[in-house]
């Protein structure tokens, strides 16, 4: 009787530990990244440097084949999509996109909104929109009215990156733009391109999981 009871208790404890471990894995979101602030000429601004990759790789995620955003923190690429930004500040964003073209489901989202000057730059060339079929991703904070389409790397481009972090020698597009954060708040950001390979309509997996193609912007 005593042995049976001990076995049952041990079994229950083992299952509880396994459940706790599983929940911990699910709940363990990315580490928030507080973007350093700089002041120049009285205007506050921050630099946010991002990378978008077709496959995040096993070094950065257990889901090595998932598409993902990465953020550069102190010169190192991290898989963090929760960023803390100061309020009423200009945010200079640079996105190095190493991913190919997926195309937007809604072409309307291929025009930039909510950015300073109404335009953004692709490899240094200013524009306000792209061909929706060329979109690889978007950078969008809907509540702030910000959306910028990210043009994809050509299918035939040489030296394409397989897994992140991708060296700058690999084929990539450089997208730059600036937006203003406005008042403090907790905002979500997301990609609007159905770019999740292998998932129904391209909107499962990394498109439905914070830490890959979605995240939060904490404006403080």
| Closest among 116, 36, 132 to 83, alpha carbons compared | 36
Distances (CA, A) of 170 to 32, 49, 70, 75, 185: 28, 17, 16, 18, 37
Distance CA 77, CA 52 (A): 11
Extract the tokens encoding 47. Answer: 């630099």
The residue from 209, 211, 217, 219 that contacts other proteins (CB under 8 A) is: 209
> Which residue lies nearer to other proteins by CB, 22 or 108?
108
The residue from 87, 143, 159, 220 that contacts other proteins (CB under 8 A) is: 143
Distance CA 144, CA 124 (A): 25
Instruction: Provide the minimum distance between the beta carbon of 111 and other proteins in the complex, in angstroms, as a whole number.
Output: 4
Contact status: 201 vs other proteins (CB under 8 A): yes
Contact status: 145 vs other proteins (CB under 8 A): yes
Instruction: Provide the minimum distance between the beta carbon of 129 and other proteins in the complex, in angstroms, as a whole number.
Output: 5
Count residues binding other proteins (CB under 8 A).
38
Contacting other proteins within 3-62 (CB under 8 A): none
Contact status: 132 vs other proteins (CB under 8 A): yes
By the 8 A CB rule, do 84 and 34 touch? yes
Distance CA 150, CA 130 (A): 8
Distance CA 127, CA 118 (A): 9
Segment near other proteins (CB under 8 A), from 55-63, 85-93, 127-135, 160-168? Answer: 127-135
Angle value at C-alpha 64, between 33 and 200, nearest 5 degrees: 100
Extract the tokens encoding 8. Answer: 């049952």
Contact status: 214 vs other proteins (CB under 8 A): yes
Contacting other proteins within 171-200 (CB under 8 A): 188, 190, 192-197, 199
Segment near other proteins (CB under 8 A), from 56-64, 70-78, 123-131, 157-165? Answer: 123-131
Contacting other proteins within 79-118 (CB under 8 A): 100-111, 113
Distance CA 109, CA 44 (A): 29
Give the interface with other proteins as residue ranges (CB under 8 A). Answer: 100-111, 113, 128-129, 131-132, 142-143, 145, 147, 188, 190, 192-197, 199, 201-203, 207-210, 214
């Amino acid at each position: 009787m005593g042995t049976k009871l001990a076995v049952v208790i041990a079994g229950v404890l083992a299952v509880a530990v396994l459940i706790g471990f599983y929940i911990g894995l699910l709940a363990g979101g990315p580490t928030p990244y507080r973007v350093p602030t700089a002041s120049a000429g009285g205007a506050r601004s921050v630099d946010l440097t991002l990378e978008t990759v077709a496959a995040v790789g096993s070094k950065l995620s257990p889901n090595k084949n998932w598409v993902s955003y990465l953020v550069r923190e102190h010169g190192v690429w991290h898989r963090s999509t929760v960023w803390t930004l100061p309020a009423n500040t200009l945010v200079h964003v640079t996105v190095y996109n190493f991913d190919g073209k997926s195309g937007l489901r809604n072409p309307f989202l291929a025009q930039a909104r909510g950015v300073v000057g109404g335009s953004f730059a692709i490899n240094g060339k200013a524009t306000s929109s792209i061909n929706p079929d060329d979109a690889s991703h978007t950078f969008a904070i809907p509540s702030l009215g910000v959306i910028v389409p990210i043009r994809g790397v050509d299918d035939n481009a040489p030296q394409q990156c397989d897994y992140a972090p991708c060296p700058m020698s690999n084929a990539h597009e450089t997208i730059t733009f600036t937006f203003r954060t406005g008042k403090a708040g907790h905002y979500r950001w997301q990609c609007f391109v159905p770019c999740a390979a292998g998932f129904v309509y391209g909107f499962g997996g990394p498109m439905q999981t914070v830490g890959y193609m979605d995240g939060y912007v904490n404006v403080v």
